[in-house]
Amino acid sequence: MASVTLEVEVPSQFPAERVFKVFSDFDNIAPKVNPQVFKSIETVEGNGDVGTIKIFTFGDAVPFATGKYKVDALDASNYSYSYSFIEGDNLFGILSSINHHVKVVPSPDGGSVFKQTVVYSCKGDEKPSEEILKKEKELYENTYKAIEAYAVAHPETY
């Protein structure tokens, strides 16, 4: 079974603790800052901890409508979070899952680096195209930047 890995890194002026706190509120912020991609995110099972199941409803800016996601690991003290998309048309009919591992790494200057590793696990030999991977990477980077801008505009919350 083939897989494809995508690496995303976005530097931030904010400390890792603040970036992780903002990212932890992704379900609420993403539909506000990027509604053309994230129409809604609904928790259908669990309370946000490991094993929680969420349903993503995507917007018109992406070529898919829904995805079911499961929280695989959560370690707030190390600013890391892992989750997998396990069902939905966002798997393009060729993927068994899309695994995401997010880690916010403190920088020596007091800021941090948002790192996201995405592993596309293929059912067979067919892999997502380079064009899809490029668009996905841009989507992750732009979403992160929009979420960070939201946090800057709402300092009382984040």
Is pTM beyond 0.85? Reply is: yes
Question: d(Cα 89, Cα 42) in Å, to the nearest integer?
Answer: 17
Integer angstrom CA distances of residue 30 from 17, 94, 109, 111: 19, 26, 27, 22
Domains annotated for the chain, with CATH where assigned, are 3-153 (3.30.530.20)
Show pLDDT as tens, one digit a residue, over the chain (158 residues).
Answer: 799 999 999 999 999 999 999 999 999 999 999 999 999 999 999 999 999 999 999 999 999 999 999 999 999 999 999 999 999 999 999 999 999 999 999 999 999 999 999 999 999 999 999 999 999 999 999 999 999 999 999 999 98
